[in-house]
C-alpha cells in the first residue's frame, strides 16, 4: 500500500473515532469559555427570596423548627443538614436546595441547584473531574487529534494545494496575532 493511501485511511478512521469525543469537547468548550460568576456551565442555580412566619427572639433551633420552616415553604426535598451561620441565622440543606433563614424576620433566601442536562456530563468529561481512567483516555484523544492534524497536513496536494497551505497557515497565524496583541 502506498504511503498516501495509508495516510488517507489513518486520517479517515481516526476521524471517525474522534467524532463523538470531538462533539463532547466542542459543546463543552463553548460553554466553559463563558464560565463566570453569573453563568455556571454545569448547574442551573436559581436564587429567590421569600418570607415565612418570623420566630420569637431566643427560639432555639432544633429539628421541630427545621420541619416547621420546610413545611411553610412546601419544601419536600430530602433533608441533608443544618448549620447556624450566625446568631439568628440558620442554613438548612435539603437535596437540591439551600435555605438561609433570618429567624427574627422570616426572610428566607433559597438557592435551588439542578444539573444542566447533557452539559453537566460533557463538562464532567472535559474538566476531567473523573480523573483515573479518563485521564488516559483524554490523553489518547489528544494524541489522535495530533495525528489527525499531521495526516491532514500530508493530504495537501494537487488542485487544493494552495488553499490547503493558506488555511493551514491561517490556523497558525490567528493565535500568533492574538498573542502578539494580548500579551
Partner 1 sequence: MKKLLPFTLLFLLICHPVLANDISLGEKLILDKKTLVSEINDEPEKYLGKRVRIEGIIIEVCAARGCWVEISSDVPFQKIQVKVVDGEIIFPMEAKGRTAAVEGLVEKLELSHAQSLAYARHKADEQGKEFDPSQVTGPTKIYRIRGLGAVIK
Q: Enumerate binding residues for partner 1 (CB under 8 A).
A: 35-37, 40, 42-43, 45, 47, 80-81, 83-87, 91, 93-94, 98, 113, 124-125, 127-134, 137
Cell for 147? 495525528
Is the Cβ–Cβ distance between 94 and 70 less than 8 Å? yes
**What CA–CA distance (Å, rounded) separates 112 from 128?**
25
Residue reference for cell 420546610 = 70
Q: Closest approach of Cβ 153 to partner 1, in Å? A: 31
**What CA–CA distance (Å, rounded) separates 15 from 11?**
6
Q: Closer to partner 1 at the Cβ: 46 or 163? A: 46
Q: Closest approach of Cβ 86 to partner 1, in Å? A: 5
Q: Closer to partner 1 at the Cβ: 132 or 158? A: 132
Q: Closer to partner 1 at the Cβ: 12 or 80? A: 80
90 strand-pairing partners: 84, 101
Q: Closest approach of Cβ 94 to partner 1, in Å? A: 8
Amino acid at each position: 500500500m502506498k504511503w498516501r493511501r495509508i495516510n488517507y485511511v489513518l486520517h479517515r478512521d481516526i476521524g471517525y473515532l474522534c467524532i463523538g469525543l470531538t462533539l463532547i469537547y466542542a459543546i463543552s468548550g463553548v460553554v466553559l469559555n463563558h464560565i463566570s460568576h453569573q453563568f455556571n456551565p454545569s448547574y442551573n442555580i436559581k436564587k429567590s427570596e421569600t418570607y415565612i412566619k418570623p420566630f420569637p427572639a431566643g427560639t432555639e433551633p432544633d429539628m421541630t423548627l427545621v420541619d416547621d420552616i420546610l413545611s411553610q415553604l412546601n419544601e419536600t426535598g430530602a433533608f441533608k443538614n443544618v448549620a447556624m451561620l450566625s446568631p439568628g441565622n440558620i442554613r438548612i440543606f435539603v437535596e437540591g436546595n439551600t435555605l438561609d433563614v433570618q429567624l427574627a424576620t422570616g426572610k428566607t433566601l433559597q438557592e435551588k441547584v439542578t444539573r444542566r442536562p447533557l452539559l453537566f456530563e460533557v463538562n464532567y468529561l472535559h474538566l476531567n473531574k473523573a480523573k483515573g481512567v479518563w485521564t488516559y483516555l483524554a490523553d489518547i484523544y489528544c494524541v489522535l487529534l495530533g495525528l489527525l492534524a499531521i495526516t491532514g497536513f500530508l493530504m495537501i496536494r494537487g488542485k487544493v494545494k494552495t488553499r490547503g497551505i493558506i488555511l493551514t497557515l491561517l490556523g497558525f497565524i490567528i493565535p500568533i496575532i492574538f498573542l502578539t496583541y494580548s500579551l
